[in-house]
Structure 1
Amino acid sequence: MDPQNNMENEAKMFLSHAKTLRLHTGNIVNRSRLKKKCPCSPSEELQDCIQAALSDWKAATKPPSNDFPDTLDCSIPQPTDAIPPEEREELRVSVKLFLCEAGESSIRDAVEMACQTLAVSQLDSVIIAPTWPLAEGENQSLAHLQPAWEELESLVRSQRIAAIGTSDLDKDLLEQLYTWAQVKPSSNQVNLASCCVMPPDLTAFAKEFDIQLLTHNDPKELMSAATFQEAVQEGTQDLSAAIWRLEWVLRYSIIVKSRGIIKAKGYLVSAGKESQ
């Protein structure tokens, strides 16, 4: 049998048996593996990263030693991903977690995967971005945030995370969260595409309570279900792949504290199989 066809068949078998797919793109600061070498939107970058990672995984696929796993790890380990212990104090690990579905277990799973992948015991900061769709006419409220925030607080208490922050909260919702939370938000990201100037009331509140205001350019929906499925199909060349449902996306940046430069950046992704 043609070795190429054999690897593709084995990759399809893995995908057909798995119930959960986990993916690590590796460090993308060096974009040599990606199709688009120039800067692009966060959504395009993620799609390109998923395709490249799955393509690399498919090329390295080998038959399982025992049964096919329920959780399929589609990562290609790279020596540069893990942080050496002697360099840890010099580096800051910042994370933004996009939750595509409600579920506190996803937060713990994402944080644990990040710590294992980067070989660290603690993430310096985690910003949470709930992106799951709300009911028509419903706006994000404190009740939507509370379960996820409580899980983040638990991870702070267990020293898995040092500081936690939010994304795209207006002054009223940020104040509600700050008043209710036991572990206060240390930062709040603002999308300058929809707000070219920081709202004065938000700026005043953040200054009073020592909350750092950051900017970002992430779209409200980082990746649609259709785009994710397209990326999986493109990366595996398996047009008959089962429909995969994006659960969460974690983007990490490893920053050299003394110089403020990004040493490494990458994505971790989790998806579940749609019930048949």
Structure 2
Amino acid sequence: MLAEETHMDPQNTDLSANAKMFNQAKTLRLHTGNLVNRSRLKRKCPSSPSEELQDCIKATLTDWFSLPKPTSEDFADTLDCSIPQATDAITPEEREELKVSAKLFLCEPAQSSIREAVEMACQTLAVSQLDSVIIAPPGPPEGDSQTLAHLQPAWEELEALVRCQQIAAIGTSDLDKDLLEQLYNWAQVKPSSNQVNLASCCVMPPDLTAFAKDFDIQLLTHNDPKELMSAAAFQEALQEGTQDLNMANWRLEWVLRYSIIVKSRGIIKAKGYLVSARKVSP
């Protein structure tokens, strides 16, 4: 009597490996790849930066789940969810023609996150230095206003990265004239730019404009919300992207959004997100 032939479902095998990898991991690092080229994301026009990030996390995890997984039972503590063919590595020959800019959104106050994010960006893009980084630190406690003391720890970490030449210029986000002046007078490495959210300010405040002009600080506009991604939105993106694995214990640490611009033509060659999350005790 012939033995009954059995068939393994590759999807179930991959799902089991994926589940084991997520269960073992303590840190999640995700790279969306170049959004300019990713067809899955080009078809949809997000209504906000928050929606764009949520769509990117879902799509990247979905694509990553379709990749072959190792058969080893020894999985790493840090899980790298990136799509190899979607990377934006810059060759040495083209580096001089490109400007690499980033905005770093800190979801938690840990200053080590700044160095981790910048190092991951440099490694991912194959560069030794980012041309500019704008910092968006976590908001102050409920009911408090932002102060210089609140900004100083993050700024000192950025200054250290400038001194070791991993960043060329550093900037701020959503500072009014008084706070920008306080930061400028205190800082060893002066802010080169300050972003202003035109959703809350239709016209640049005259005092901010005058101060920026006097001290050669570039004023930029943006439409990012105060909280780029809520905990609930992050959980939703994880659940949908991981095919409903239990992801309730994962917390977003930081998000770095980068753009690579061709200097001579002023066009965006590449843009994307780097995301870090960590597992917390239930």
TM-score band, normalised by the shorter chain?
over 0.9
**Cα deviation 1:153-210 (Å, max 9, x = unaligned):** 0000000000000000000100000000000000000000100000000000000000
Partner SS, residue 85 of structure 2: coil
Letter in 2 for 1:244: W
| 1:108 pairs with one of 107, 112, 115 | 115
Aligned to 1:28: 35
Structure number with bigger Rg: 2
Q: Distance in 2 between matches of 1:80 and 1:221?
A: 27
Cα drift, residue 52 of structure 1: 0.7
Aligned to 1:179: 185
Which ranges of structure 1 fall in alignment gaps of 5 or more residues? none
Aligned to 2:77: 70
Aligned to 1:167: 173
Task: Please tell me the root mean square deviation across aligned C-alpha atoms, in Å.
Answer: 1.3
| Residue 124, structure 1, aligned to residue 137, structure 2 | no
Q: Distance in 2 between matches of 1:49 and 1:59?
A: 16
Aligned to 1:198: 204
Cα drift, residue 221 of structure 1: 0.5
Count residues with an aligned counterpart.
275
Q: Distance in 1 between matches of 2:147 and 2:107?
A: 17
Q: Distance in 1 between matches of 2:68 and 2:156?
A: 39
Contact map agreement 1:24 1:268 (CA 8 A) in 2: yes
Greater mean deviation of Cα atoms: 71-80 or 193-202: 71-80
Divergent runs of 4+, >4 A: none
Aligned to 1:265: 271
Q: TM-score, normalised by structure 2?
A: 0.94
Q: Distance in 1 between matches of 2:68 and 2:247?
A: 16
**Cα deviation 1:193-249 (Å, max 9, x = unaligned):** 100000000000000000000000111110000100110110011242342100000
Contact map agreement 2:87 2:125 (CA 8 A) in 1: no
**Pair 1:129–1:77, CA change in 2 (3 A):** same
Q: TM-score, normalised by structure 1?
A: 0.96
Partner SS, residue 86 of structure 1: coil
Aligned to 2:140: 134
Letter in 2 for 1:160: Q
**Cα deviation 1:126-149 (Å, max 9, x = unaligned):** 00001x243221111111110100
Greater mean deviation of Cα atoms: 36-45 or 168-177: 36-45
**Cα deviation 1:19-61 (Å, max 9, x = unaligned):** 1000000000124122852243100100000001101111114
Contact map agreement 2:19 2:245 (CA 8 A) in 1: no
Cα drift, residue 263 of structure 1: 0.4
Letter in 2 for 1:126: V
**Pair 1:135–1:80, CA change in 2 (3 A):** closer
**Pair 1:204–1:73, CA change in 2 (3 A):** same
* Structure 1 residues 197-216: aligned runs within 5 Å: 197-216=203-222
Cα drift, residue 74 of structure 1: 0.6
Contact map agreement 2:172 2:195 (CA 8 A) in 1: yes
